[in-house]
Amino acid sequence: MRITQLFVLMSVIGSAWSLSTAAAQTPRITILYDAFGKDAAMGKDWGYAALVEINGKRFLFDTGGDPVIFARNVKARAVDLTQLDFVVLSHRHGDHIGGVSYLLGVNPKVKIYAPKDGLGGTFGSDVTHQFYRKDEALPPEMRYYGGKPPEIVKLGTVFPGANLQLIDNTTEVVPGITLLALVSDVTGTKEMKELSLAVNTADGVVLIVGCSHPGIERIVAEAAKINPHIHFIAGGFHLVAAQDPAIEHIVTTLHDTYKVDYIAPGHCTGEPAFAALKKAFGARYLYAGLGTTLNLGAKEAHPNVKSNTATPGSRNSTSTWRSAMGDGWRSN
Ligand SMILES: [Zn+2]
Ligand SMILES: [Zn+2]
């Protein structure tokens, strides 16, 4: 029943439609970086970035892997990076933070939420000087800081001067917008912290994940603590090399256990997982290739889709909605 009361519409976006304005009233997500898509004006590359406009906020989730390609894609969608409430960096991998140098060139003081990794993490860390053992018998020139360390030792960041706000534990950064902080336990990324974004809306949780290194199941379970109704998930599920039984398990969990309304996988979800999710979710699988804008929210918000000049409730508008639901997706 709830499905009929909600809808997610993927819209056709003309290049003339600027995304440079303040947060749109219609919640929407625009994919700015990925390795698949249809828009020849944008550069396909491994990584993930999305512009998110929701709950009156307008922010960037990740920045892709290459600053030149990120810049090209941002310009192709006319996104004004000087008009951001904040930026979220999901985790330290280069395919998510590579575009930060371009971002900082445009908006040097933008607030950037990043995971607080352990000692010496990519985003920097502050520790008390007690992190190292002392030997007071040594001459001062052999002792760290001449034997007089500062109370707090700041360890370097790869983004010196940036307005980084490190997130250690799951935190509601603005009302209704929560950064879920989970730590990977998987070989290769063990102990790496990753932030996922959960927005509590009237329709349920809108969840955006970067690479899901801690596991998409664990992330969804964390999001479900905020609101058990998961409305929408976009991003990378990290099933890129997973075998079919593991993929099936995740698909079943998302579809049957959590009863996720809409799924818009991208990035490291993987080609076989795209296929399995499409099969399970049917029309509720939303194509989310590079350049796609996904509108989420109440049907009444439809007029905000600038590329569709139809008035709400008109035949054209209804057919667009039906088409989006029936075909699963439409895009440019
Ligand atoms: Zn990663
Ligand atoms: Zn990644």
Mean pLDDT per 10-residue segment, the chain (332 residues): 44 41 74 97 98 96 98 97 98 98 98 91 92 97 98 93 96 97 93 96 96 97 98 97 97 98 98 98 97 77 31 29 32 34
94 CA distance to ligand 2 centroid (A)? 8
Distances (CA, A) of 65 to 48, 125, 253, 286: 7, 23, 30, 24
Rounded distance, CA 107 to CA 22, Å? 15
Q: What is the pLDDT of residue 52?
A: 97
Tell me the sheet residues that pair with 33.
Answer: 49
126 CA distance to ligand 2 centroid (A)? 26
Q: What is the pLDDT of residue 325?
A: 34
Secondary structure (3-state) at 31: strand
Q: What is the pLDDT of residue 11?
A: 43
Q: What is the pLDDT of residue 5?
A: 39
Q: What is the pLDDT of residue 24?
A: 59
197 CA distance to ligand 2 centroid (A)? 15
Q: What is the pLDDT of residue 120?
A: 81
Q: Residue 258 has which token pair?
A: 């959590």
Q: What is the pLDDT of residue 23?
A: 52
| All domains in the chain, ordered by first residue | 2-120+166-327 (3.60.15.10), 124-157 (no CATH)
96 CA distance to ligand 2 centroid (A)? 6
212 CA distance to ligand 2 centroid (A)? 8
Q: What is the pLDDT of residue 298?
A: 54
Minimum-distance ligand to the CA of 193? 1
213 CA distance to ligand 2 centroid (A)? 9
Rounded distance, CA 315 to CA 90, Å? 41
Q: What is the pLDDT of residue 296?
A: 86
Rounded distance, CA 332 to CA 330, Å? 7
Are 256 and 228 contacting, i.e. CB atoms less than 8 angstroms apart?
Answer: no
Minimum-distance ligand to the CA of 48? 2
250 CA distance to ligand 2 centroid (A)? 18
Q: How many other CB atoms are found less than 10 A from the CB of residue 160? A: 8
Q: What is the pLDDT of residue 289?
A: 98
